[in-house]
Amino acid sequence: AYWGSSFSDAEIERELAETPDLHVTRLEDDQLYAETAKEIADGKVVGWFQGAMEWGPRALGNRSIVAHPGHPRMKEILNSRIKQREPFRPFAPSIKAERLGDYFESDHESPFMLMVYRTRADKREQLQAVDHVDHTGRVQTVRREDNERYWSLIDAFEQRTGIPCVLNTSFNENEPIVCTPREALDCFSRTKMDAVVLGNFICTRVGDNAPAVLEQSNAAQR
């Protein structure tokens, strides 16, 4: 599904340099996954922009907004801050493929988010934000060999929380899914996302009219 446009870190960095009111840190891969997982675990809403864009109706981890699947108010937070959609519409779980049967009543993979599976009763509390009213979820299974960066983010989240799954919704707000870094940054600026990750850059807001600030972690500088 990942046949759309992709952008290098150099191209992303040029857009970041032209964007005010951002605090930008460049991280190495493992640090990026760990820091993003921490943000999600803390209840933050994060835009996740990586690699080639998906071609198709679903965001599958390259142009996604990700959040904690077990946060009791996350559906309300996403709808009020970003999506502005009807409260009865569910959000989807992205789960490590090898853990699917532990959380849903199926072991048949669903990499394109086309299948609906019943959530196991003992896992519903961990998946409150992606468990629909009938206790089902429209599941995306993620294999490491298919999307290593997204799988690694979910794995880092599991290491922090014990949950091998994140909430996944499309990276947009009343418009088509974002394609370019500029579209991602514009969507971030219009909404109340807490952070946006583009390639290896993690970005948050700073004070009004402040220029973009680019930092590198100590590990990235070595």
The DSSP 8-state label assigned to residue 40 in this structure reads H
Amino acid identity of 85? Answer: R
Burial status of residue 139 (CB atoms within 10 A of its CB: 0-12, 13-18, 19 or more): buried
Residue 133: which of 88, 187, 82, 193 has the closest Cα? Answer: 88
d(CA 76, CA 156): 25
CB of 213 closer than 8 Å to CB of 22: yes
Amino acid identity of 76? Answer: E
Print burial letters for 6-15: b (CB count within 10 Å at least 16), e (below 16).
ebeeeebbeb
Cα separation values, 132 from 67, 124, 168, 183, 198, Å: 16, 10, 14, 30, 30
pLDDT at res. 62: 99
d(CA 206, CA 211): 9
Q: Using alpha carbons only, give the angle 175, 79, 33 rounded to the nearest 5 degrees.
A: 80
pLDDT digit string (tens) for the chain, length 222 residues: 999 999 999 999 999 999 999 999 999 999 999 999 999 999 999 999 999 999 999 999 999 999 999 999 999 999 999 988 888 889 999 999 999 999 999 999 999 999 999 999 999 999 999 999 999 999 999 999 999 999 999 999 999 999 999 999 999 999 999 999 999 999 999 999 999 999 999 999 996 334 444 555 544 333
Cα separation values, 183 from 12, 16, 157, 164, Å: 11, 12, 26, 29
Q: May I ask the CATH class of domain 9-221?
A: alpha beta
Could you tell me the residue ranges of all domains in the chain? 9-221
pTM of this prediction?
0.93
